[in-house]
Amino acid sequence: MAPPTLRLISWNIAGRTSCLDEQIAALEQRQPDLVALQEVHSSIVADLYAAFQRMGLEHYTDTIGLAKEHERRYGVLIASRWPLEALAAMTFRIPQPERLCSALIASPFGLLELHAVHVPNGASYRWKKVETFEGLYDRLARAASHPRILCGDLNTPQAERDDGEIITWRQDIEDGKAVIWDKWHGDRGMRWDRAERLILAGLAAHDLPDVYRLLHKYDEQRFSFIMNRNRRRYDHIFASRALNPTHCDYLIEPLDQGLSDHAPVEVVLAPPFAAV
């Protein structure tokens, strides 16, 4: 008999409402135990929760109400097969708290802390992106009582090279070498570059490695978002090593079908401490 596993799907559904049935079908096909959705419009939340009930994901929390309080359209949602306790977003010092949904999951494998985030893009929100990365790192760069997962649309990196070098959104390529933008000389450019790296690489020192890169070499260049014909790996899952990830990949079919401008990212975990 195969050991018990936990399947999580994280997906930025891009605020799309006209293809909700197809989005639900794409999720249901994968039979997830946990779902983390970003850019969820308030008008579809009730239908999503009804669908999750049918899928056995009977426990959920979201930041839709928080988004409305701040007069913003979209929130983040977590749905679980097992009971959960919502955790206050205000424990993170980020400028737009509705972009982060957190919960403590009472899974058969033990308590699990799950954080789903939609980091704002730098073109529109500039320093809010930097401050979001810094707030996430300040809260997560510490010892934890339970295994943790951070997932969502980070809007970074710009690129990853085959040798593992990360190119952030405050770098240009000059003569084959990545350098901080000329117009961002000094502390501003360095701070932005550092903020992206704190999450992409720095959390690994605090037991939150990038699961895709834990399982795949850098010459395996998958993507979750296409911008101006450039393919970006914007969507990520970071997880405590004790959760024993065995699979992580991007589900490109929903992206090809136009169900979002992002592909879902899926991880399968096989914790050795599972209760059987």
Structure confidence by residue, pLDDT tens digits, 79-138: 999 999 999 877 899 999 999 999 999 999 999 999 999 999 977 778 999 999 999 999
The span from the CA of 65 to the CA of 43, in Å, is 12
Which has the closest alpha carbon to 203: 149, 249, 162, 160? 149
pLDDT of residue 182: 61
Per-residue pLDDT reduced to its tens digit, 9-31 = 999 999 999 999 999 999 999 99
Would you identify the CATH topology of the domain 6-160+205-269?
Deoxyribonuclease I; Chain A (3.60.10)
pTM of this prediction exceeds 0.85? yes
- Confidence class of residue 2 from pLDDT cuts 50, 70 and 90? low
- Omega of the bond leading into 83 within 30 degrees of 0 (cis): no
pLDDT, average across residues 248-276: 89
Per residue, what are the HEC states of 47-105?
HHHHHHHHCCCCEEEECHHHHHHCCCCEEEEEEECCCEEEECHHHCCCCCHHHEEEEEE
**What does the pLDDT average to over 167-187?**
74
SS3 of residue 46 by DSSP: helix
Task: Return the higher-pLDDT residue of 170 and 85.
Answer: 85
pLDDT above 90 as % of the chain: 77
> How does the average pLDDT of the chain come out, rounded?
92
Q: Residue 244 region, left (φ>0) first, then alpha (ψ -120 to 50), else beta?
A: left
